[in-house]
Amino acid sequence: MSSVIQAEHISKQYKLGFVGMSSLADDMQRLMAKLKGNEDPFLKVGEVNKRDNSGMKGDSKYVWALRDVNFNINHGEIVGIIGKNGAGKSTLLKILSRVTEPTKGKLRYKGRLASLLEVGTGFHPDLSGRDNVFLNGAILGMKKFEIASKLDEIIEFSGVAKYIDTPVKRYSSGMYVRLAFAVAAHLEPDILVIDEVLAVGDIEFQEKCIGKMRDVAGNGRTVLFVSHNMAAVKSLCKRALVLQDGALAFDGSVTDGISYYLSGLNASENRGQIETHHRTFNTGKAFYRKIELTNPEFVNGNVIYFNETISIKCEIEFLEHYSNVMFDVRILSIEGIELAHTTNAYKNGYYNVTSDRVYFELDIENNFQPGKYFLTFGAHLSDGLTLDYLENLVEINILNVSNNNSTGIIYDFKLGYVRPNASWKIN
Amino acid sequence: MTDKWHIIEKGNPFKLTRIIKELKEYKDLIFLFLMRDIKSSYQQTILGPLWLVIQPILTSIVFTIVFGNIAKIQTPPNISSFAFYLLGLSFWNFFAECFNKISATFVMNASVFSKVYFPRLTVPISVLLSGIFKFSIQFGLFLIVYLYGVIFQGVSLMPNLSLFLLPIYLIALALFAMGLGLMVSSFTTKYRDLTMLVGFGIQLLMYATPIAYPLFAIDSHSFIYKLLLANPLAGIIEGCKFAFTSNGLFSINLLLLDITIILLTLILGMYIFSKVEKRFMDTV
């Protein structure tokens, strides 16, 4: 395998704040340093780019959006670039697509490189769809005859044939992005750099887009794909680069990359430590002392894979022994709707408490749609008396990606809350 | 995949041959930008490209009234003063519009430039081409008025062989607009102060160029006269007028000097532009 992209020590520095007299003063200092043959004085003062407010904010006006990033991409590889907002993905993309240059370091690539940071770049509202196809194609680096030879294909793919001679400002936003994506999809570069342009159009068109990208990728082209959509990354890429605070934190298989990325998310949220203020209601006779979700990705990052069984361990202290106890767990939507309820009483009848500490383990089948949910925990008696009640104690995030290699499609948006098990027979 | 490596790093060297080679690869884009300009300019107007003709006619009328009738500035005898102003305006408008548009290259195209790479010079070049398109319409208008004067009003025809220099004058104006425009647009990516200047700067520059008056209206020994000639536009515009009227200043030495200044401006402009285009995204 020959390498087609090599990044060596790529770093990018940005200045914070407004451009004004102070930046003019800095420019003058830089100029003086250059005239004297010294190094740029501001390259030394930049600090690591941390966007959270964890008290890391220093006094420096300069910040490194990327710091010493090295990687090597071989011909025909499809690589996902993932990372939190602010990790440096966009900056890396901008450098790759030659929109800006690195402050330090070097990037080398072979062949024709096209980048899609946005669909419809350069579309002019007053021109017809057809004119815009040519204009946009040329901006993306196609020659006029190439566009002309693919024009019919592009128009057909976009599905706006009827309106192709109408100014695009009269298009619906859906038609607009479809036409724009159609142009982009018919680029034939050796290296394709794609930002999250997939998030366009309706489901049908999204699928068409993913299919098209798979074709592009399958044709021996090298693709760099930047996205927050883990499902798309997982289905398209084999390798992942994870950026963290401007540095390359992980480089390896896509499955490991995604779990590395996920484990770094939401590290500060509540994972079941119970404090007095969490108790919505309590009789003083029984207390949940410990509630733990044992799913590995949850321990690391409050997230649960799509379809992954939710495993819970609890410890409850009883000051009085009852013979008719029922423990329950409710799953609520972020709107506060109770979506599901489970209790030991449904299957096993009431529990007879014989010791001061009761432990239970619980596995809940998870067929929730991707998204955010809350877990509410309770302990009650058969006559309806509530002993302890912890409302919305734990927040979970069901991912739009599953941890097994199912062939199904997980859409990134919610249709309802639950995906019931259903068996389809289609002739 | 035997292609050679493309390298992206800070401070690629400025090479004219590389720039030209890259522009050739993107010549389709230049023409598509040109088409976009022409097609979109007069969308949803009733008079359409007729506006190209109306503007110089109205301006010439105003000039004839203000400078001819009120200020009583003499125009050359062998041309109507209306045609005289039209001539100057057609060349001036070409320069002014190109300069104005090119100096907004970065600011106007920030959203496209921030998403896709293509040689940024394609934009100013297409501006020049669309300027030439508009110029030819306005110049055509002048020719009609000029010939009308000759045929129907018996104005004696006084063109001369320097007419053949007109394309050179036009190219010189184009290159000067480009050179100045590139410089201004490069400076304005970070500091917008110059944008404030360009708008009325162009107007002031018009008065420093013999458009609304013939150069001979000024005492050739005065300081102002020498100052005017320092403006490369003055020599070029006088040359244009001389070609049609055989009246005015025509000096090969002056023209050569002007063209040298223009070429230096252009190269400096392209150099600064090529430095800025790689990092303007961070400051614009």
Residue B157 class from Cβ within 10 Å (0-12 exposed, 13-18 middle, 19+ buried)? middle
CA angle B124, B32, B38 (to 5 degrees): 75
Indicate the pTM of the whole model. Answer: 0.73
Q: What is the mean predicted confidence (pLDDT) over A55-81? A: 78
Edge-to-edge strand ranges of the sheet holding A222-226: A113-116, A191-194, A222-226, A78-83, A239-244, A247-253
- Give the bridge partners for A314, in sequence order: A291, A360
CA nearest neighbour of A103 among A195, A24, A39, A22: A39
If you measure CA to CA, which chain B residue comes closest to A13? B282
- The whole-number pLDDT of residue A246 equals 86
Could you give the CA distance from residue B271 to residue B280 in angstroms, rounded to a whole number?
Answer: 14
* Sign of the CA dihedral with B109 first, then B94, B65, and B62 last: negative
Total structural domains in chain B? 1
**A124 chain-B contacts, CB cut-off 8 A:** 36, 40
- Local confidence band at A51 (pLDDT 50, 70, 90 cut-offs): very low
Higher model confidence: residue A227 or residue A169?
A: A169
Residue B121 belongs to domain spanning: 48-282
Q: What is the mean predicted confidence (pLDDT) over A251-265? A: 77
**A363, pLDDT greater than 70:** yes
Topology given in CATH for the domain delimited by A3-10+67-112+189-263: Rossmann fold (3.40.50)
- The whole-number pLDDT of residue A60 equals 60
Name the least confident of A23-37, A88-102, A392-406, B7-21: A23-37
For residue B278, give both structure tokens.
Answer: 């790689």
Q: Indicate the helix (H) or strand (E) that contains A291.
A: strand A286-293
Q: What is the mean predicted confidence (pLDDT) over A197-221? A: 72
Give one DSSP letter per residue of B6-56, joined into a string.
EEEETT----HHHHHHHHHHTHHHHHHHHHHHHHHHTTT-SSGGGHHHHHH
Q: What is the mean predicted confidence (pLDDT) over A365-382? A: 88
Is-contact A257 A240, C-beta < 8 A? yes
Is-contact A285 A319, C-beta < 8 A? yes
- The whole-number pLDDT of residue B122 equals 94
Of chain A residues 144-183, which have a CB less than 8 A from chain B? 144, 167
Out of A102, A107, A138, whose CB is closest to B28? Answer: A138
How far apart are the CA of B17 and the nearest CA of chain A, in angstroms? 19
Residue B25 within a domain: no
- The whole-number pLDDT of residue A57 equals 46
- The whole-number pLDDT of residue B166 equals 93
**A interface test, pick of B4, B7, B8 with most A CB neighbours within 10 Å:** B8
**A61 chain-B contacts, CB cut-off 8 A:** none
**B6 chain-A contacts, CB cut-off 8 A:** 108-110, 113
Out of A75, A103, A113, whose CB is closest to B1? Answer: A75
**A56, pLDDT greater than 50:** no
**A50, pLDDT greater than 70:** no
List, as own/partner pairs, every contact residues B220-229 make where C-beta atoms lie below 8 angstroms and the sequence separation is at least 24, other chains included: B229/B254
Is-contact A278 A390, C-beta < 8 A? yes
**A266, pLDDT greater than 70:** no
If you measure CA to CA, which chain B residue comes closest to A122? B112
Contacts of A111 (CB under 8 A, 6+ apart): A4, A189, A190, A191, B1, B3
Q: How far is CA A234 from CA A265, A268, A379, B37, in A?
A: 18, 26, 40, 43
Walking along chain B (284 residues) 10 residues at a time, the average pLDDT comes out as 70 78 90 90 80 90 89 82 91 95 89 87 95 94 89 75 91 96 88 81 90 84 86 92 85 91 94 83 65
**A104 chain-B contacts, CB cut-off 8 A:** 10
Q: What is the mean predicted confidence (pLDDT) over A193-198? A: 73
**A100 chain-B contacts, CB cut-off 8 A:** 278-279, 281-282
Is-contact A223 A216, C-beta < 8 A? yes
Domain boundaries along the sequence of chain A: 3-10+67-112+189-263, 276-402
- What is the DSSP code (8-state) at residue A302? S
**A40 chain-B contacts, CB cut-off 8 A:** none
Could you give the CA distance from residue A74 to residue A5 in angstroms, rounded to a whole number?
Answer: 7
- The whole-number pLDDT of residue A54 equals 39
If you measure CA to CA, which chain B residue comes closest to A145? B28
**A interface test, pick of B26, B29, B109 with most A CB neighbours within 10 Å:** B29
Is-contact A5 B6, C-beta < 8 A? no
A118 touches B at CB < 8 Å: yes
Mean pLDDT for all residues in chain A: 81
Residue B23 within a domain: no
Instruction: Count Cβ atoms below 10 Å from residue A380 Cβ, excluding itself.
Output: 21
Could you give the CA distance from residue A54 to residue A49 in angstroms, rounded to a whole number?
Answer: 12
- Local confidence band at A412 (pLDDT 50, 70, 90 cut-offs): low
Q: How far is CA A136 from CA A53, A142, A291, B36, B55, in A?
A: 40, 9, 55, 11, 32
Question: Which phi and psi (to 5°) does residue A289 adopt?
Answer: -100, -30
- The whole-number pLDDT of residue A174 equals 81
Please indicate whether the domains covering A3-10+67-112+189-263 and A276-402 agree at the CATH topology level. Answer: no
Could you give the CA distance from residue A261 to residue A280 in angstroms, rounded to a whole number?
Answer: 34
Q: Indicate the helix (H) or strand (E) that contains A146.
A: helix A144-158
Could you give the CA distance from residue A82 to residue A328 in angstroms, rounded to a whole number?
Answer: 38
Could you give the CA distance from residue A242 to residue A264 in angstroms, rounded to a whole number?
Answer: 11
Q: Cβ separation of B191 and A14 shorter than 8 Å?
A: no
For residue A256, give both structure tokens.
Answer: 């490991």
Residue A336 class from Cβ within 10 Å (0-12 exposed, 13-18 middle, 19+ buried)? exposed
Q: For chain A, what is the HEC assignment?
A: CCEEEEEEEEEEEEECCCCCHHHHHHHHHHHHHHHHCCCCHHHCCCEECCCCCCCCCCCCCEEEEEEEEEEEEECCCEEEEEECCCCCHHHHHHHHCCCCCCCEEEEEEECCEEEECCCCCCCCCCCEHHHHHHHHHHHCCCCHHHHHHHHHHHHHHHCCHHHCCCEHHHCCHHHHHHHHHHHHHCCCCCEEEECCCCCCCCHHHHHHHHHHHHHHHHCCCEEEEECCCHHHHHHHCCEEEEEECCEEEEEEEHHHHHHHHHHCCCCCCCCCCCCHHHEEEECCCEEEEEEEECCHHHHHHCEEEECCCEEEEEEEEECCCCCCEEEEEEEEECCCCEEEEEEHHHHHCCECCCCCEEEEEEEECCCECCEEEEEEEEEEECCCCEEEEEEEEEEEEEEEEECCCCCCCCCCCCCCCECCCCCCCCC
CA angle A85, A91, A96 (to 5 degrees): 135
**A36, pLDDT greater than 80:** no
CA terminus-to-terminus distance, chain A: 43
* DSSP 3-state of A368: strand
CA nearest neighbour of A191 among A253, A81, A109, A117: A109
Q: Cβ separation of B33 and A113 shorter than 8 Å?
A: no
Residue B207 within a domain: yes
Tens digit of pLDDT for each residue in A281-315? 788 889 998 888 888 878 767 788 888 899 999 98
Tens digit of pLDDT for each residue in A318-350? 998 999 999 999 998 877 778 899 999 888 889
Is-contact A260 A251, C-beta < 8 A? no
In terms of DSSP bridges, do strands A104-110 and A247-253 run parallel, antiparallel, or are they unpaired? Answer: unpaired
If you measure CA to CA, which chain A residue comes closest to B33? A135
CATH H-level, domain A276-402: superfamily:
abc- transporter (atp binding component) like domain (2.70.50.60)
